A and B are shown apart, each in its own frame.
Chain A
Amino acid sequence: MEALPSLPNVAMKNGRIQIKKQTKATIVMRIVLWTLFAMTVIGPFLLDYGEIDWAEALSLTLGNLQMMFLQPAFNQITFGTAMMQIGITLALAFLATVLGAVISFFLAAFSARNLSPAWLANIIIASNSFVRAVPTVLWVLIFAIVAGLGAIACVLGMMLHTIAYLTKAYAESFEELDEGTIEALKASGANWWHIVWHAVIPQSSSYIISWTFLRFETNYDVAVAMGAAAAAGGIGFELFMASSFYYDLHEVGMITYCALVVAILLEMISIRIKRHYLGKA
């Protein structure tokens, strides 16, 4: 039985009522998605695989993975050294986060739309998005030109990226502040600093804490990579030595596990903090 549309503007196709109307945009989107899908499927068949023996390649890869993750062991370093190196990595992340957070706080106060004039806010927001567009690794390497490769360049580079990230996060939580609260304090003769300190901070402190810790977690991940890439020391450097210098896959596995456990711990703390502060917000 064919359903007849009760309204003149209802779209029909093969005697069925259409829920969505086909527009140019939906057709283009569909063509793009199907093309991408086809390319993904065809792609691997077009690669040049040379003389690879698939069975051998697969068994060797699995063997390496097995060595790494099923037989982890310390050979060149001890568990104590690993822990100390993780401590150094955490310290790098901590330093970059704390320094960045303090500077971010002031920049955020100057770039929140409800606290600052538009021109100042726009300047800070624009330069921030520029800083954020450049990856952290690149900033570290840029700072390495002046500070030399090592911990200082690493902290400076991570700090810069942290500032750009946290300023945005803080400013957004400042902007959540009820306009009336600012008005009330202004009307009683309070100046800008009074308002920031006694209305903005108490109202957004929980956001500040959880954003800061989230960034600390990110900075730890980055600091691991920086240990290798910028010779900043820490567990990342040990990982680099174990893999590229000693070719010791057992140790690579062990170090990965150590770094992973700390990352998971941080993640758990971060979730706790978020639930504790933001849950009640």
Chain B
Amino acid sequence: MTKQVDARGLSCPQPVILARQAIGTDEFPIEVLVETVTSRENVRRAAEKLGCTVRVEEAGDEFKLTLTK
């Protein structure tokens, strides 16, 4: 079961905080939904720093980041 984090519309640093919390549970894969390129890059950087592999899909003007370990 894919864990989903909906961080759309949340401002910095909420998306990163939520993504980190999800990574902390150690249940992968995790899908993180964000709306801005800023959030996409912030979550990507934080996740990669924690050893995750990040795949980004663009859907309309939103982004779905899939984190795996």
Whether A and B are associated in the same complex: the answer reads: no
